[in-house]
């Protein structure tokens, strides 16, 4: 009899061990008293998950049409070939996890690697805005190298973080990388096919150290095919990375709710090298300062902004900048070797009210501070008639508390202009225009039209130019997955 009982226990615990690689949670038909290791024995809430140690190869299955309140903290790693996976199962709508502001995140990846999060909807809306609130936080802090994290097919919405960057802001996705004791980074992060909306302040935001003496950047970062809308601040900020690729994303409909103190832009690197930003569409940015579609920001080397579509952004098409006060220090080697090419800008630089910093200000191109060797070529810039109260500057070169921009070249660009436009080039000797085509002469501007010919074109077919560009660059409008109200 004892041998029979022992045999039954071995079989029971043996099966439990095997089944523990799958965890099922169903808010509609589950029960937290179940084992949670099959569809028929699913848990009902996230409570038991918090008590469970996850082994490599474990999959957490959340039932479609389920809705959970709470949060998920993943503190265990997978291994190569045996990742830990959080995903949905069954037919129906994505399972929803409502953080309700209980934590500063709804999902936390805490110094872990070999993780896949796929097909979940998350929110994190508290009773009032809170700094640093996120939907998903990914930490790499004194962790060493963390490999292979995938976030895909998610909906991340309704996160009410702070609207003020200096207070900590807030994000749909926050990636934090710091290593005072142990150099730390993520090698292989993919953020793919997600829909992000109504997240305050930002959408996808990296944070890291800018110190070049301790430079240990994230590697193999891909941010691709995401739809971001109704986010008031920064869309995609690449910080502390080398070789990141940001492509085929659509960012649109930025609400005009930031305070006057706040600067933000669509897609930009900050303290990152060799970033490639391509095949994206950014439109309707309305931040009180900056508000360009694209930006190559300080302490970044080798940024390429190419084959993108930009339109109807309050602050302009592109910003290239660097802060002079810290230039030459360990945290700022300059913004160097930026290339901006083969892009289309339509109706950018339309801010309808004065800024608190400089009054009326929304140049199509803003080049400021100690930036060096910026090459802007083969872009198409279409500027329809502007309201008389709107800035009519195409290129603005100015200073940001230190050396002026050095070696800026505009080459082989096409400028189709309907109204009276001008350049503001206070340091004329450091900028060169070669082989550009203008549809009409600029006002209040010295320009060598022997090198930059006038090609008078009337009745520009903007739709034809736009559709040809979008087709050639495979930039297709993304549809809403939700009825956004």
**pLDDT, tens digit (0-9, with 9 covering 90-100), for 417-435:** 999 999 998 766 689 999 9
Task: List CB contacts of 472: < 8 A, sequence separation 6 or more.
Answer: none
Q: What is the mean pLDDT of the chain?
A: 93
Task: Answer yes or no: are the C-beta atoms of 388 and 424 closer than 8 Å.
Answer: no
Average pLDDT over residues 361-385: 97
Q: What is the pLDDT of residue 480?
A: 63
Q: pLDDT tens digits, residue range 239-295?
A: 999 999 999 999 999 999 999 999 999 999 999 999 999 999 999 999 999 999 999
Res 15 pLDDT > 70: no
Decide: 349 and 282 in contact? Cβ < 8 Å.
no
3 state SS of 16: helix
The structure's pTM equals 0.94
Element (H, E) at 107: strand 107-110
CA separation for the pair 71, 106 (Å, rounded): 5
Predicted pLDDT at 12: 40
Burial pattern 158-180, b for ≥16 Cβ within 10 A else e, equals bbbbbbbbeebbbbbbbbbbbbe
Q: Name the class of domain 87-472.
A: mainly beta
Higher-pLDDT residue of 152, 5: 152
In whole angstroms, give the CA distance from residue 228 to residue 119.
16
Instruction: Decide: residue 257, CB within 10 A, 0-12 exposed, 13-18 middle, 19+ buried.
Output: middle
As a whole-number percent, the residues of the chain with pLDDT over 70 amount to: 94
The angle at the Cα of 205, spanning 248 to 186, to the nearest 5 degrees, equals: 90
Higher model confidence: residue 11 or residue 27? 27
Mean pLDDT confidence for 27-44: 97
Q: pLDDT band for 17, please (50, 70, 90 cuts).
A: very low
Q: How far apart are CA 470 and CA 148, in angstroms?
A: 32
Look at residues 144, 156, 143 and name the one whose alpha carbon lies nearest to residue 110: 143
Query: Measuring CA to CA, how many Å separate 220 from each of 147, 186, 244, 300?
Result: 10, 8, 6, 17
* Region 311-324 average pLDDT: 97
């Amino acid at each position: 009899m004892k041998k029979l009982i022992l045999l039954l226990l071995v079989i029971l615990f043996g099966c439990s061990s095997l089944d523990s690689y799958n965890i099922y949670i169903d808010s509609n038909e589950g029960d937290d008293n179940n084992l949670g290791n099959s569809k028929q024995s699913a848990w009902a809430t996230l409570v038991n998950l918090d008590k469970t140690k996850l082994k490599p190869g474990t999959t957490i299955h959340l039932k479609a049409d389920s809705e959970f309140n709470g949060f998920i903290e993943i503190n265990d790693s997978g291994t190569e070939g045996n990742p830990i996976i959080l995903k949905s199962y069954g037919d129906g709508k994505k399972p929803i996890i409502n953080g309700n502001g209980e934590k500063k995140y709804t999902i936390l990846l805490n110094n872990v690697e070999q993780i896949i999060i796929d097909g979940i909807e998350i929110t994190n809306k508290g009773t009032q805005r809170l700094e640093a609130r996120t939907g998903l936080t990914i930490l790499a802090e004194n962790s060493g190298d963390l490999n292979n994290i995938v976030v895909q097919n998610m909906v991340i919405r309704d996160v009410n973080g702070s609207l003020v960057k200096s207070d900590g802001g807030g994000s749909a996705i926050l990636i934090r990388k710091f290593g005072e004791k142990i150099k730390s980074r993520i090698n292989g992060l993919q953020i793919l096919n997600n829909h992000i909306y109504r997240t305050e302040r930002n959408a996808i935001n990296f944070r890291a150290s800018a110190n070049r003496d301790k430079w240990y950047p994230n590697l193999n970062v891909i941010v691709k095919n995401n739809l971001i809308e109704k986010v008031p601040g920064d869309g995609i900020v690449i910080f502390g990375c080398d070789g990141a690729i940001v492509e085929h994303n659509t960012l649109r409909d930025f609400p005009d709710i930031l305070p006057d103190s706040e600067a933000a832009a669509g897609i930009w690197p900050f303290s990152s090298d060799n970033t490639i930003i391509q095949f994206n569409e950014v439109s309707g940015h309305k931040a009180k300062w900056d508000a360009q579609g694209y930006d190559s920001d300080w302490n970044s080397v080798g940024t390429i902004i190419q084959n993108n579509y930009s339109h109807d952004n309050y602050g302009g098409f592109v910003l290239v900048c660097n802060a002079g006060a810290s230039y030459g220090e360990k945290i700022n080697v300059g913004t160097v070797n930026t290339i901006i090419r083969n892009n289309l800008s339509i109706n950018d630089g339309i801010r309808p009210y004065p800024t608190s910093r400089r009054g009326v200000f929304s140049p199509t191109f803003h080049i400021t501070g100690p930036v060096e060797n910026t090459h802007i070529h083969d872009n198409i810039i279409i500027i329809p008639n502007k309201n008389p109260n709107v800035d009519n500057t195409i290129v603005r070169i100015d200073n940001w508390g230190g050396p002026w921009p050095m070696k800026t070249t505009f080459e082989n660009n096409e400028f189709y202009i309907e109204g009276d436009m001008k350049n503001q080039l206070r340091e004329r000797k450091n900028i060169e225009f070669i082989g550009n085509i203008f549809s009409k002469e600029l006002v209040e501007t010295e320009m060598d039209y022997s090198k930059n010919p006038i090609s008078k074109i009337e009745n520009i077919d903007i739709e034809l130019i736009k559709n040809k560009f979008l087709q050639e660059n495979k930039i297709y409008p993304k549809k809403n997955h939700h009825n956004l109200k």
